Structure 1
Amino acid sequence: MGMLYYGSASEPIQIEDRALAHLKVVIATKLRRNESFTLSWRHPDGDDPGRSTIWLHPSIPMRFVFDDPEPPELHGEWITAMANSANSSGGITLVPEDLETD
């Protein structure tokens, strides 16, 4: 399980390593362009039910921590889907990697 440390929050956001690797690409691209946006996700099993949203801004520090020392092979369609949602008014909604790959 990967972790995203954002701002001064003491508790990290837990995101599966593979999803976090894809999300990192989209976040880095948006922030490099000085673009702000939201990130939303459903709370993982074992946490209180519900969902959360944070505002991502280039001036707020963040750190990505992965359990696996080797980066996964990235799925371009998943990155594109996340990037498209980042460009919408709703921001990125973290969804499972269930895109069809013909």
Structure 2
Amino acid sequence: MGTLYYGDSGTPIGIEDRALAHLKVAVVTKLRRGESFTLSWQHTDGQPRGRSTLWIHQSIPLRFVFDDPERPELSREWIEDLMRSANSTGGIQLVPENVDTAPITGIDTQLHAEAGSG
């Protein structure tokens, strides 16, 4: 289980590593373009029933922490789904992955090189 830290909130957000890796690509892409947006998700088991939304802006500190040291192969389709939702009035909706076995070539490497993070 990975963790998303946003702003000064004392509450870390637990997100499965694979989902967090895909979310990171979508979020970093939007922020590099200077675009603000919302990020919404449904609460998982063990949390109070409901959903949460964050306003994501480049001036607010953001950190992605992964439990697994290895980067997963990314699904182009899942990233495209996240980016489509990012460009809607509802912002990024953290949606489940659609099965896609074709790896993405270049996008993860390019984003990591440009962002200087892993």
- Please indicate the TM-score interval, normalised by the length of the shorter structure: over 0.9
The structure in which a higher percent of residues are helix is: 2
2:42–2:51: 8 Å Cα contact kept in structure 1? yes
Note the aligned Cα RMSD (angstroms): 1.3
TM-score by length of 2: 0.83
Q: Does 1:70 align with 2:70?
A: yes
Matches within 5 A, 1:1-102: 1-99=1-99
- Determine helix, strand or coil for the equivalent of 2:14: strand
In the superposition, the TM-score normalised over structure 1's length comes to 0.95
CA distance in 1 between counterparts of 2:100 and 2:71 reads: 22
CA deviation digits over 1:35-89, x for unaligned, max 9? 0000000011011000000000010010000000001000000000100100000
> Any conservation in 1 of the 2:2–2:16 contact (CA below 8 Å)?
yes
Tell me how far apart the structure 2 counterparts of residues 6 and 101 of structure 1 sit (CA, whole Å): 31
Name which structure has the greater RCO, CA cutoff 8 Å, separation 6+.
1
Query: 4+ residue runs of structure 1 moved beyond 4 angstroms?
Result: 99-102
- Counterpart CA distance in 2 for 1:101 and 1:70 is 18
Counting matched residue pairs gives 102
